[in-house]
Structure 1
């Protein structure tokens, strides 16, 4: 039986050179979420709860569902990210999933807009939906007790559960940038590869705790070379 490689991608600052949550804060000129961020973070210590609150503010400003989706779709993949995804999609013995602390609706729309949604077998992120008034709601992905992760999502648990249910993978290539990617990094084996974005939180955490991650670690500039790096792993 031919073993396969699983490519696991974060989304914000990994496949887009931006944070789609903060991106939508610019959808209306009088929205003051970024200005009021300090006080709002005290009220909503969990980022997902803050984003659900932000979605309510956007709705109150009269922004329509179509306008919000159109704004989201402008947060496109950068060239090297598109190149990376295309390479995995063409590889004979590789699959790809996304594990992200953004939300399912935003990710689906951006990937579809960029013509690469079909490459990903699964997307694991916070559920999002519009209600009958076209107000967007963003919910926690699950509850957990992991000390490393935010209250709404443990990426490490998602990765472990996925691999346990699909034993065909001989290697995992995990690509990420942030604090939330540290937990899954700790669960990688010495046969796996961790690709960190240079200058971002994950790379610093791995450097400060060199013995914590068993996987081969690569620290690269995603915008300059992510696609070329992933292509080399698909050959």
Structure 2
């Protein structure tokens, strides 16, 4: 059953076609300031600072939402997500964007309900109407300790948590889709029965190509939204067909075993039947 398939998506440059942080700052005219401050702060901390700059310059939450609703997305992505959800897959997001950006976009596209869980940096509107963006991992008080990932988020640890949380539900197979450097660490957490879908010619694809023996999962690359839809649904259907064949084989074996007991029963019954007087 597709309920045994967990599909984990990155968000920026995977579900949408670009980086949501850059998109908002570019569209609202704050790119230059962001570039000036970039050497001074970690990305996640800088985004919180930039939301303060937007607020101080009169940009409202509605302005940010309006920009997010115009974010480019390949026309085959939404149908792909809806198809995977309709098949019964458990869809989740693991992203280094933020909750406010992601939920605004998903709700606009009408696909928020497709996802059972969104793992990302907290993002909320405070009492002053200013958007706050916080780190997923508080790297000041409890650093995650992973050298592969940025200080605010280790996606590998998130995947391990998801794996542990659903272990009691039986065997699950993961499909992970991503594009960036931060998607390499979770690819190392996948098992041999899982699937990794790196976006071709993007950083995670380059890292996997250079460290192929470190990734246990089966690798299926993709290039754009149309390719993502084709590869993803093909993988889901292949898993479902394999499981159906396994069930059918088990049922056939069980039936054969029952048939094999019939001659023994007949043999046992024959002496009794022959001894009955006519």
TM-score (norm 2): 0.79
Correspondence for 1:209: 211
Match of 1:43 among 40, 44, 55: 40
SS at match of 1:25: helix
Correspondence for 2:191: 189
| Conservation of the 8 A alpha-carbon contact between 1:7 and 1:173 | yes
Match of 1:230 among 215, 229, 232: 232
Match of 2:49 among 39, 50, 53: 53
Deviation string, structure 1 residues 106-163 (Cα, Å, up to 9, x no partner): 1011011001111100000000111111111100001411111000000010110111
Correspondence for 1:220: 222
Between the two structures, name the one with larger relative contact order (CA 8 Å, sep ≥ 6): 1
Consecutive unaligned residues of structure 1, counting only runs of 5 or more, are none
| Conservation of the 8 A alpha-carbon contact between 2:2 and 2:236 | no
Report the CA distance between 1:83 and its aligned residue.
Answer: 2.3
Correspondence for 2:86: 90
SS at match of 2:129: coil
Higher helix share: 2
| Conservation of the 8 A alpha-carbon contact between 1:7 and 1:97 | yes
Correspondence for 1:140: 135
Structure 2 Cα separation of the partners of residues 228 and 2 of structure 1: 17
Consecutive unaligned residues of structure 2, counting only runs of 5 or more, are 138-142, 238-278
Correspondence for 1:72: 68
Distance change >3 Å, CA 112–CA 78, structure 1 → 2 = same
Report the CA distance between 1:38 and its aligned residue.
Answer: 4.6
Structure 2 Cα separation of the partners of residues 3 and 59 of structure 1: 43
Structure 2 Cα separation of the partners of residues 65 and 38 of structure 1: 22
| Conservation of the 8 A alpha-carbon contact between 1:83 and 1:228 | no
Structure 2 Cα separation of the partners of residues 101 and 91 of structure 1: 27
Structure 2 Cα separation of the partners of residues 67 and 37 of structure 1: 18
Aligned: 1:106 with 2:104:
no
| Conservation of the 8 A alpha-carbon contact between 1:76 and 1:110 | no
Report the CA distance between 1:65 and its aligned residue.
Answer: 1.3
Deviation string, structure 1 residues 147-180 (Cα, Å, up to 9, x no partner): 1100000001011011101123421000000000
Higher strand share: 1
Correspondence for 1:118: 113
Backbone CA RMSD of aligned residues:
1.6
Structure 2 Cα separation of the partners of residues 103 and 112 of structure 1: 14
Q: Which moved more, 1:195-204 or 1:63-72?
A: 63-72
Match of 1:171 among 153, 173, 177: 173
Correspondence for 2:272: none
Aligned: 1:28 with 2:28:
yes
SS at match of 1:26: helix
TM-score (norm 1): 0.93
Structure 2 Cα separation of the partners of residues 183 and 48 of structure 1: 18
**Number of aligned residues:** 230
Report the CA distance between 1:63 and its aligned residue.
Answer: 0.8
Correspondence for 2:154: 154
